[in-house]
Amino acid sequence: MEDATTLTFRNGHRVTFVAEDVDERGPYLRLKHQLPEADRQAGPHWHPVLTESWTVRHGRLRFVVDGTQTVLGPGDTLTAPPRAVHEFWSEAADTAFDHEIRPPLRHWQMFRLWHNLDAAGRTTRTRVPRDPLALALLWDYQDGYLAGIPVWLQRVVLGGLAAVAERAGYRRRWLKIRPHQH
């Protein structure tokens, strides 16, 4: 059984809520990820305000941040500042890493939404929501943009579909807090 702070995806990816608080540098969210298989984790995207940092506990992660490729091993940390295009892969089975998001905005809600869709079988093998409205809502909750697609187009198309999803009750349906979720 999962504890109250862990989301487990169908592929075995576990995301554990560690803390959400404020320190001398401002508000943050800390998560722990456990990845059972080597696989692509996030395609190229960027956040206007968020800074993300990753520290590998064990295993190996490969990142591309603003065109620079870096491979991290145990104890290594990498940070993507606001507006930096980043993507990453796990390169070894059983990789675990710490993930810090500053400020948190809606990142934990994004993982909950994504998990709930995945648990209901509403995502593809690569964890992409099948329903365009659910996909647009997930896009909205990531508080960022996909790289290579004009921002204005994402706002019009995905932002418009996210607004329709809100009106259609998707947030209520897919983000409701279930037992065993933080």
Tell me, yes or no, whether 51 and 74 share the same domain: yes
Question: What's the confidence (pLDDT) of residue 13?
Answer: 95
Cβ–Cβ < 8 Å for 123, 130: yes
At residue 4 the predicted structure's pLDDT band, cuts being 50, 70 and 90, is: low
At residue 1 the predicted structure's pLDDT band, cuts being 50, 70 and 90, is: very low
Q: Which domain holds residue 146?
A: 107-175
Read off the pLDDT of each residue in 128-156 and give the average, rounded to a whole number.
Answer: 95
Mean pLDDT of the chain: 92
For residue 98, is it within any domain?
yes
| 81, burial (CB in 10 Å: exposed 0-12, middle 13-18, buried 19+) | middle
Cβ–Cβ < 8 Å for 133, 168: yes
Tell me, yes or no, whether 38 and 89 share the same domain: yes
Read off the pLDDT of each residue in 148-173 and give the average, rounded to a whole number.
Answer: 95
pTM: 0.90
How far is 156 from 153, CA to CA, in rounded Å?
5
| Domain C-terminal end among 102, 119, 136 | 102
Angle at 60 between CA 66 and CA 127, to 5 degrees: 75
pLDDT one-digit tens code per residue, 81-91: 999 999 999 99
For residue 1, is it within any domain?
no
Q: How many CB atoms lie within 10 A of CB 30?
A: 17
For residue 92, is it within any domain?
yes
| Domain C-terminal end among 72, 102, 132 | 102
Query: Total domain count for the chain?
Result: 2
